[in-house]
Every structure is written in C-alpha cells, then in structure tokens.
C-alpha cells in the first residue's frame, strides 16, 4: 500500500453528513441535476420479504418417481432410491420462524411453487407480522401440501412471477424489499416449456427484480443423496448471494442469518463453550433488546444469566422447532443456553450495530446489497457505528482498527475511513472490540467492475488551485470517459494539514452535480495554510449504482485578504451604506493597515473623473478578522454615461510604509458603473404651504414646509435644488432638504422662510427646480406655490365717557371692551384723538396737542364672553378751553389700532367735560339738594347760602393756603366688575403727574364692528351732541347739565 493510501483514512473529515449525502442515489434514468440523497435509515425501518418455497416432488418424496405407481416416502427403494431433501418439512418451520423474528411493521408473504405457483395460507397476501397473537395465526396457516402427485416439476419461474406481483402491488417508499428463494435443484418443466426458455424467463425475472431494487437471496437445499445442486442460480451475473444449506435442519440457521443481513440489528450466535452450551456475553452499550433461542423440538433444557436460570417465553413450537425468547429489559452479563442438539443457535436483537456508508449499496435503501466500485483502484470504506455503542472502536474484518474521528448526525464520534486492499468480495465490520460473542458484526459484499468510469479531480491541482477572486476555493470533481452516468451525489471533505499530516476537519459540503461534473464553491481557505480535499461520489452507470473517491491537495500562499465584495464589482449595486467587508491576514508578518482608492474613468473618452472617490483604510488584526464598510462617495454627481475603473488595494506596515504582501482576491479589483440620464417628475403642479395666522409680534416669521412628491424615471435618485423664481410677497426665500423615501416614491422637502414679518394676505409665485448639472432632467422645471397669511380679527365695543378733564395733566381712565382673535401679548395703540366742544367763543377743536392717550399692552386672557377689558386713559396735555360760566362739554373719537397690524384703526366715541370751579367743587354736592321738595329745603338752603356769603365777606384777604382743608364727603360708586382691567397698563407723558380720576362706568354696549385688520369699517356713531342749554339731548342726567 503506497503512502497516500496508508494515511487516507485520516483525510476524511467530518463524515457526519455522509449518511444523508451518499448512502443512496437518485432513481434510475433521472435527469442530470443536483442530487439530494436519501439515507438508508435505521435498522428498525420495516421491510417486505417474500419467501418462495420449492414444493416439487423431490422435497418430500423419494425420487425419481416410478413410471407407474405413486411417489413413495422414506425409506427409499428402487427405483426411487434418492432420499427427499426435506422430508420433515423444515422449510415451512423456517418460514414460521421468520414470522416470529420479524418486527411488528415488517411484512411477509409466502409463495410455493412446483408445477404451479400459489400463495400459502393467510400469507398468500402481504401481511404485517403484528403482535404475538397475529404471528401465531399467520404461522399456523403455513401448511405443507399433503399430495405431491401433481407437484412433480420445479417451475421456479412461476414462483418468482408471483413474488414480483406481490412486491409491485405493495411497494412503498423507503421500504426495502427482499425475496428469499428456496430450492433443491435446477428448474424443470413438462414438455410444454423447454428448459432453455424457462431459464431465460428466470434470468429476466432476476434482472427485473434488481432494476426495482429488490434483493434476491437464493438458498439451495442440498440433497443427502445427490448433493448440492443450484448451478444455474450460482451462474447468474445478477447475484452473488446464493447460500447452500447442507441439510434441512440447517435451513433454520441460514434463514435466520439472511434475515440478520436484511435487519442490521440482528446477530446470530452459534458459538459454544466447553460444556457445549451456546454462550455469549452482552454489554450495556450494546443495547440488547431480545434474545431468541432456536432449537430442535425438546432440545433446549435451560437458559441462564450469570449461572442463574432465566425465564423465557415460548413463541413457536410446530413439532420441528422451538423458539424461546427473553424480551424487554435484557440484563447485561454472561448468558448460556443448554441444548442437547448442536444445531441450535441464538438470534439477538441489539440497538447497536455497524454500518458501511461508502461505497453505497447498489439497491436503494438495502444495506445488504452488493457495493460496486471501479476496478483498478482500492475502494475507500467509510463506516460508522449506530446506537448506544456508536462511539466505540470499529474493526475491519474483526482485527484492524479503523480510526474514529469526526461526528455523525447525532453528534457521536463514530465515523471512520480506511482503504481496503483485499481481493476478497466480502468485508466484515465490527462495532466494539469484543473478542468473543456477542460481537456486533456485519458482512458487506464488494465487487469491482472494470466497465465503471473512474473519478477525476479537476481542481485543486498543482497548476490550478481553483481559487476565486473573492478567496473561495472552487472544488471540482467528475467522471472521466466511459459509460454514461446519472444520479450523481457528491460530498467534499476538507482537512487542514498545515500543522498535522493527519489533518483537522475544517469543511464538508454537498456538491452540485451536472452531467459528469460536481462543483462546490463554499469553502473559504485561509491564506498560508495547506489542505487535503477528499471527494466521495455515488452515481448510476448502466443501471448500476456504484461509488468512487478521489483526493487532492490545496496550498494557499500567505496573504492579506478582503472579503465581502461582489465579483464583478458593479457600483450600481452598491448598498446605501456600502458593502460590508471582512479583513484578515494569513501571514506571520505584522501588518499595519489595508487601504483602498478608486480610479474611475469615462468609458467613451478615458477621462478620469474626480467627483467619485473612495476613502477606505482599516487596521489588519494579527489574529481573527476586522469588519467595516467600503462605500464609494459622489456617484450621484457623475454625468450620464458608462464608467470603468479599479479599486486599488495596498497594505502598509505598522509604521505606515508600503508593504510587499499578496492581497486577495487581487490588489486591483475592476469596477464598472452605468449612470443613466436620470429624469425626475413632479406629479403635483403646485406647492401648497398651507395657511399661517398673522401674529402682531415683531418676531413673527414665516417658516412653512411643503413636501413635493418626486418620481425618477431612470438611474438612482439625484439631488434636487429648489429656489424662488417669483414671489408676490417681499422678504421670502426658499430652502431645500434631502430627499425622503416613501415606499416607491420620494418626497422633496422645501421650506418657505422670511427674515422679517410678512403682512396678511395671499402670497404666490413660482418655484424653480434644478438637478446637480444639466445632465439631469426635471419635469416640470418650475411649479407654482401659494401661502395664505390669515389676518387678525378685532373690534371694540362701547363708548368712553372720561368725566371731567380740564386742567393740564389731569387724567381719567375708563374700561373698554375689545374682541381680538390673535395671540397675546399684543399692544393697543392710539392712532389719533380728536374732540370738539362749545366754549362761548364758538366751537373749539381739540387734537393731540391738547389730549393724549397712551399705548396699552394686553397679555392676559379674555373673559368668559371672549372680550379683553382694557383700561383706556385720557390725559390733558394742557388746560382745556371752557365756557367760564357753564363749562364746556367735548365729544369726539379716539382711533385705536393694534401694533404691528396694518389697516385702519377702530374709532371709539369719547366725551368729557372741562368744568368750571363751581362745577368741579360745588355742583356735585349741591345739585342733589335742589332736587328735594322746596317746602323742606328752600329755607335752610337760603340760610346756608347767606351764612357762606357773610363768612366770605368777613374773611376777605385771607390766604387760602393757610386755611384748614375741609374734606367733603365723596359719593360712593358701585364696585367695578371683576375683570374690568385685565392685567393692562398704559404709559403716557402725563402719567407721572396726574392722579387717576374717579372711575365712571357709563359705557354703553353696541357699535361693534368686526373685520380684518386693514379693512374699511363703517365709522362708529359720534358722541352725542350737546344742546345750547348744556343738557344732553333726550337725557335728563343732572350730572351732565350746565348752570
């Protein structure tokens, strides 16, 4: 064995998936494509078995039969001198035994043939073994014929035809099917069917069964007189499974051994100890579940465990054979069965057993079928253990250890591989290192075929490592010239042999197969490492399923690698955040960083463009990897057209100096870009900024946003800029935000702003839209816009009577109701003041030089009726002219406005009196006296006046300032309303000098006019005109009468 083969078993890696990927092939004549393999399944999977029994005359009667007379039974005399092959009908006992050895879901049928063929008893149809009662019923229905006179010939073809019919009628997926054919001689027939024709029929039937995946086990019962026949069956190329039974009692053991090949969890023990007892030892990990002792009738005397008698159950006793079993929890230890007949044996069912996974079985899901491989090379045996003992040693032919490594699908160390150089056609695999029974062994048949194609490795090779630009390795294997192949199923196993020639499993993967080639490109080798790649491939050639293997080495140079970039690099497909990349090093040298730069040129002119660039640099770690993003900036600034270029990678030392090291996938990565002439379309023809309410604050500004829907016809979205092309309002400007994605469309935010307050009214105009350059189209290039600035509504309610205002600096304040729907605070300003009155010299006109009223700041809340109650003050800047005898009454208008609110003011009717001294000091208390009846008051009043006159005459020349001040009683006024003044104040020039006069609450409701600021309003009615006698028209108020 050469060096490569001697260490081959160390190269197979992680065979955990081997059962799933290689144990079976696709159906015959399937189309060439990637294959999904079907596992063989556990040993407990149910099977179908058809037992075909020879009931010809030679089985039970002496032969040859006499020309005259009836067939005879032993003892045999002339002319029938040959003993019958099965005079005790043990073949039927063997069939009954199979029923009891089968699992509940296994199905069995029994067919017998002689001159004709027929089903036997209840098993003439396929029947499940079922429970113990059903087994007894089925076994009892198997009865040998009583009359052999019409059964002289051996029509094996008729028996096989009936077996084929039963199997085809009951075929199910993943259920293996078997035929157990028993005969004692060659096919024979009457004169109607020539022997050659019958033999050809049988050959065709064997081929039909093989093509259907049915395994046929021929059993030849040797005749005690004529010996073993069956040369015809042994010559069939379709099977090498012919067994000889030396005598009829041996049929029981042969049938049991064949059934153990069908069911992987069965073992037949025939070994005996020094006392002649069947002896074996079981272990806990073997998982023994049943011990069944098969013995001739009345030959079993005892079954013992560790020398103690064990209780058994009798399952079968048909007069020829007995079956006694111990089932359930079988205690591990030393077991023995004492029998008086050496033909007795034990059948043991255990949960642990060995499996041969590769080469695959030729019959689908049938582990007992022959394994084929191409001639001219040694097969590679891949084995595993199943069950509780899966982690134990695996032995080749019971002697050579098969190294265990890797894990199977259940995570147990139970896989091994070894080349097999023996020329024998059988290989035995043992699970566990037991040197005496119970030994968990299975025998598999191997056959080399010179006509099968051989497997060839295409990559990796010495001249072509198969490394892709992104660093992955392309693993390729396929069949060379020869027969057409189909149904390929392949797996690649990779081990790292850099530090250990035995290798460490690093990768395994199923391969995609097309025609004769299988490929896998999922393995990412590390730089500076060496690998061994092993391929296992199964296929079907000429209708025959087989397996082959191949091996190759892969050496990767030390390098810095960058992974994650597509190949080829199309900048049109770059994610918004860039490509996520991974950087690492497969070299012992210390590396600083890996940098990248972009060189991009126009394909038509070769001109290098500078708008797009790449700023990428990432530190390369000494171990493990580093991650980041590689993103090209400025692509949206490029003009339409085709571009080509490269991303150039360079490594530096930790000090920043250039470093000469291999870079994977390449130091120069080609890139391409196609920039279509993009066009943006705006479905909306107007940008509506909505409505904003005017604010009288000097800080009032416009700041309204509108979202313009945008769609792009081709290419990526590009930047849009908007500006005001036309505006009906001054002081406005426009800003543009970044595009926002909304489903399949985009939104362009534009904001209308102002630096100074904008007056109420409607604003409109045109917005102009542009792209990054003239290479970008926008339809339409301009859209209309509009904005409504709603004015503030306000009005005043009532008139103002300020009472007496005549001396310079004299002040009077009265409340005024004002309705205002703007926001606070706001300032009420006096835009104008005018009044007129009769002074004796004619009508006197007063203006701002005589009167003053200050601004009022309002910052509270309106009352329950929605009115603000503001204090309005009137101050005389200088002495108001008056009639010296009766004083003067003035009326006019006070024009109010809101600061910051354009438009005409709101006039408020005002009135006041410039009184004489008498009116100021006397009239206010004297008038009520004269209103009393004359009889009660005229006398005392006249006397009082006389006394005052006398007192004044006597004190003529007296200085008034020195006189004591007499305080006259003041009239009491009703309390003011709770919200008469709403946190209001006013400021005027005379406020520091004048004291507030008494508050008069004589305002009248009415004269309310609502409208927008700046609009025309019907003037409020003027103050009531005064008649010549000093009293108000239609009014009898004595406080407003003159002397």
Q: For 167-209, what is each residue's pLDDT tens digit?
A: 999 998 888 999 999 988 778 877 778 888 888 999 999 989 9
Q: Are 226 and 82 in contact (CB under 8 A)?
A: yes
Fold of domain 47-263: Rossmann fold (3.40.50)
Question: Please, how many CA atoms are within 13 Å of residue 1015, restricted to the half-sphere of its CB?
Answer: 15
Give pLDDT, residue 236: 64
Q: Are 111 and 52 in contact (CB under 8 A)?
A: yes
The hierarchical CATH code for the domain 560-675 is: 2.60.40
Rounded to whole angstroms, how far apart are CA atoms 796 and 536? 101
**pLDDT value at 27 more than 50:** no
Burial of 719 (0-12, 13-18, 19+ CB in 10 A): middle
**pLDDT value at 1009 more than 50:** no
Rounded to whole angstroms, how far apart are CA atoms 772 and 718? 7
pTM of the model: 0.56
Q: Are 828 and 898 in contact (CB under 8 A)?
A: yes
The values of phi and psi at residue 582, to 5°, are -125, 135
Mean pLDDT of 494-522: 90
Residues 6+ apart with CB under 8 A from 136: none
Give pLDDT, residue 1006: 40
Residues 6+ apart with CB under 8 A from 152: 56, 57, 65, 71, 114, 115
Partner residues linked to 1041 by β-bridges: none
Give pLDDT, residue 366: 80
DSSP 974-1040: PPPPTTSS-S-EEE-TTTTTPPBPPP------------BTTS--PPPPPPPPBPTTSSBTT---GGG
Q: Are 349 and 289 in contact (CB under 8 A)?
A: yes
Partner residues linked to 646 by β-bridges: 599, 670
Mean pLDDT of 385-393: 88
Residue entry with tokens 């490592």:
465
Give pLDDT, residue 19: 37
User: What confidence tier does 718 reach under pLDDT thresholds 50, 70, 90?
Assistant: confident
Mean pLDDT of 943-969: 65
Rounded to whole angstroms, how far apart are CA atoms 815 and 801? 10
DSSP 80-139: --BPPS-TT-HHHHHHHHHHHHS-TT-EEEEEEESSSEEE-GGGGS-EE--SHHHHHHHH
Domain coordinates in residue numbering, the chain: 3-41+351-555, 47-263, 560-675, 679-790, 794-933+975-1038
- The pLDDT mean for the chain works out to 82
Give pLDDT, residue 750: 95
Lowest mean pLDDT among 263-272, 898-907, 988-997: 988-997
Q: For 393-413, what is each residue's pLDDT tens digit?
A: 999 988 899 876 555 545 555
**pLDDT value at 287 more than 80:** yes
% of the chain residues with pLDDT over 70: 82
Question: Please, how many CA atoms are within 13 Å of residue 958, restricted to the half-sphere of its CB?
Answer: 10
Give pLDDT, residue 73: 73
Torsion of the alpha carbons at 913, 919, 924 and 929, rounded to the nearest 10: -130
% of the chain residues with pLDDT over 90: 48
> Per the omega criterion (within 30 degrees of 0), is the bond before 933 cis?
no
Q: Are 337 and 438 in contact (CB under 8 A)?
A: no
Mean pLDDT of 464-493: 90
Same fold flag, 560-675 and 679-790: yes
Q: For 546-593, what is each residue's pLDDT tens digit?
A: 999 999 999 988 888 888 889 889 999 999 999 999 998 877 678 899
Burial of 286 (0-12, 13-18, 19+ CB in 10 A): buried
Give pLDDT, residue 606: 93
Give pLDDT, residue 953: 76
3-state SS assignment for residue 258 = helix
Other Cβ atoms closer than 10 A to 218: 22
539-564 b/e with 16+ CB inside 10 Å = b? bbbeebbbbbbbbbebebeebbbbbb
Give pLDDT, residue 1042: 37
Fold of domain 679-790: Immunoglobulin-like (2.60.40)
Element (H, E) at 734: strand 732-736
Q: For 56-103, what is each residue's pLDDT tens digit?
A: 878 877 877 777 666 767 788 777 777 788 888 899 999 999 999 999
Rounded to whole angstroms, how far apart are CA atoms 329 and 175? 28
3-state SS assignment for residue 166 = helix
Q: Are 379 and 420 in contact (CB under 8 A)?
A: yes
3-state SS assignment for residue 948 = helix
Partner residues linked to 545 by β-bridges: 540
Give pLDDT, residue 567: 85
Q: Are 875 and 991 in contact (CB under 8 A)?
A: yes
CA distances from residue 1006 to 21, 253, 870, 980, 999 in whole angstroms, order as listed: 100, 128, 16, 17, 20
């Amino acid at each position: 064995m050469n060096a490569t083969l001697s260490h081959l078993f160390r190269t197979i890696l992680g065979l955990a998936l081997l059962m799933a990927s290689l144990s079976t092939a696709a159906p015959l004549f399937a189309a060439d494509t990637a294959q999904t393999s079907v596992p063989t399944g556990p040993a407990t999977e149910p099977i179908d078995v058809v037992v075909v029994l020879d009931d010809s005359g030679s089985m039970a009667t002496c032969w040859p039969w006499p020309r005259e007379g009836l067939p005879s039974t032993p003892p045999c005399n002339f002319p029938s001198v040959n003993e019958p092959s099965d005079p005790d009908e043990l073949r039927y006992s063997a069939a009954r035994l199979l029923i009891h050895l089968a699992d509940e879901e296994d199905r069995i049928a029994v067919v017998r043939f002689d001159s004709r063929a027929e089903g036997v008893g209840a098993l003439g149809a396929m029947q499940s073994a079922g429970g113990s009662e059903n087994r007894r019923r089925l076994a009892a229905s198997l009865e040998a014929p009583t009359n052999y006179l019409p059964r002289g010939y051996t029509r094996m073809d008729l028996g096989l035809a009936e077996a084929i019919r039963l199997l085809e009628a009951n075929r199910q997926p993943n259920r293996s099917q078997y035929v157990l054919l028993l005969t004692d001689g060659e096919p024979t027939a009457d004169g109607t069917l020539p022997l050659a024709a019958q033999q050809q029929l049988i050959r065709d039937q064997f081929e039909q069964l093989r093509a259907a995946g049915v395994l046929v086990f021929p059993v030849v019962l040797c005749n005690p007189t004529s010996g073993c026949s069956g040369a015809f069956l042994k010559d069939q190329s379709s099977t090498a499974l012919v067994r000889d039974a030396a005598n009829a009692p041996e049929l029981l053991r042969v049938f049991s051994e064949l059934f153990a090949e069908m069911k992987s969890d069965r073992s037949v023990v025939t070994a005996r100890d020094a006392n002649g007892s069947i002896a074996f030892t079981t272990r806990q990990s073997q998982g023994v579940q049943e011990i069944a002792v098969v013995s001739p009738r009345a030959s079993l005397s005892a079954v013992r465990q560790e020398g103690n008698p064990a209780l058994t159950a009798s399952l079968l006793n048909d007069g020829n054979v007995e079956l006694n079993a111990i089932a359930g929890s079988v205690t591990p230890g030393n077991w023995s069965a004492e029998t008086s007949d050496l033909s007795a044996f034990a059948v043991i069912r255990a949960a642990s057993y060995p499996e041969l996974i590769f080469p695959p079985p030729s019959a689908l899901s049938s582990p007992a079928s022959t394994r084929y491989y191409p001639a001219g090379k040694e097969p590679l045996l891949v084995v595993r253990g199943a069950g509780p003992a899966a982690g134990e040693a695996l032995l080749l032919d019971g002697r050579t250890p098969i190294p265990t490594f890797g894990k199977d699908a259940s995570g147990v160390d139970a896989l091994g591989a070894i080349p097999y150089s023996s020329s024998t056609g059988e290989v035995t695999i043992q699970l566990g290192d037991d040197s005496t029974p119970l030994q968990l062994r299975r025998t598999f048949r191997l056959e080399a075929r010179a006509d099968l194609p051989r497997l060839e490795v295409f990559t990796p090779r010495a001249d072509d490592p198969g490394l892709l630009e992104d660093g992955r390795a392309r693993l390729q294997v396929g069949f060379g010239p020869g027969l057409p192949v189909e149904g390929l199923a392949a797996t690649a196993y990779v081990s790292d042999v850099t530090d250990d020639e035995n290798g460490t499993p690093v990768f395994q993967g199923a391969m995609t197969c097309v025609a004769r080639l299988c490929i896998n490109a999922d393995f990412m080798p590390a730089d500076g490492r060496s690998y061994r790649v092993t391929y296992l491939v199964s296929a079907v050639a000429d209708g025959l399923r087989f397996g082959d293997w191949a091996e190759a080495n892969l050496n990767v140079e030390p390098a810095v690698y960058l992974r994650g970039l597509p190949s080829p690099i199309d900048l049109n497909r770059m994610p918004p955040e860039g490509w996520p990349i991974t950087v690492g090093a497969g070299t012992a040298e210390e590396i600083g960083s890996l940098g990248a730069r972009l060189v991009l040129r126009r394909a038509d002119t070769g001109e290098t463009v500078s708008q797009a660039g790449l700023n990428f640099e990432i530190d390369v770690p000494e171990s493990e990897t580093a991650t980041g993003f590689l993103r090209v900036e400025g692509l949206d600034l490029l003009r339409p057209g085709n571009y080509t270029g490269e991303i150039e990678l360079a490594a530096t030392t930790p000090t920043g100096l250039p470093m000469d090291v291999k870079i994977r996938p390449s130091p120069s990565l080609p890139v391409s870009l196609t920039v279509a002439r993009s066009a943006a379309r705006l479905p909306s023809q107007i940008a509506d900024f909505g409505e904003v309410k005017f604010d009288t604050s000097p800080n009032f500004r416009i700041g309204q946003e509108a979202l313009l829907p945008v769609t792009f016809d081709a290419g990526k979205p590009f930047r849009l800029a908007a500006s005001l092309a036309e505006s009906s309002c001054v002081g406005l400007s426009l800003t543009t935000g970044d595009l926002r994605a909304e489903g399949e469309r985009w939104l362009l935010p534009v904001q209308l702003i102002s630096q100074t307050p904008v007056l109420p009214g409607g604003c409109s105009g045109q917005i102009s839209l542009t792209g990054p350059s003239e290479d970008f189209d926008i339809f339409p290039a301009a859209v209309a816009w509009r904005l409504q600035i709603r004015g503030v509504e306000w009005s005043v309610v009532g008139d103002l009577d300020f009472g007496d205002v005549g001396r310079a600096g004299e002040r009077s304040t009265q409340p005024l109701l004002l309705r205002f729907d703007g926001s606070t605070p706001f300032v009420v300003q006096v835009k104008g003041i005018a009044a007129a009155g009769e002074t004796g010299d004619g009508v006197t006109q007063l203006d701002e030089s005589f009167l003053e009223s200050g601004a009022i700041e309002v910052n509270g809340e309106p009352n329950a009726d929605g009115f603000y109650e503001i204090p309005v003050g009137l101050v005389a800047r200088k002495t108001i002219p008056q009639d010296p005898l009766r004083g003067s009454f003035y009326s006019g208008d006070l024009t109010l406005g809101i600061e910051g609110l354009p438009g005409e003011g709101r006039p408020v009717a005002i009135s006041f009196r410039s009184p004489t001294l008498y009116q100021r000091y006397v009239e206010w208390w004297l008038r009520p006296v004269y209103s009393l009846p004359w009889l009660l008051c005229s006398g005392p009043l006249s006397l009082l006046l006389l006394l005052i006159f006398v007192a004044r005459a006597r004190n003529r020349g007296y200085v008034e300032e020195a006189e004591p001040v007499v305080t006259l009683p003041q009239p009491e006024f009703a309390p003011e309303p709770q919200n008469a003044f709403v946190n209001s104040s006013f400021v005027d020039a005379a406020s520091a000098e004048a004291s507030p006069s008494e508050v008069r609450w004589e305002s009248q409701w009415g004269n309310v006019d609502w409208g927008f600021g700046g609009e025309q309003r019907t003037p409020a009615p003027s103050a009531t005109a005064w008649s010549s006698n000093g009293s108000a028209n239609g009014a009898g108020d004595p406080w407003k009468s003159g002397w």
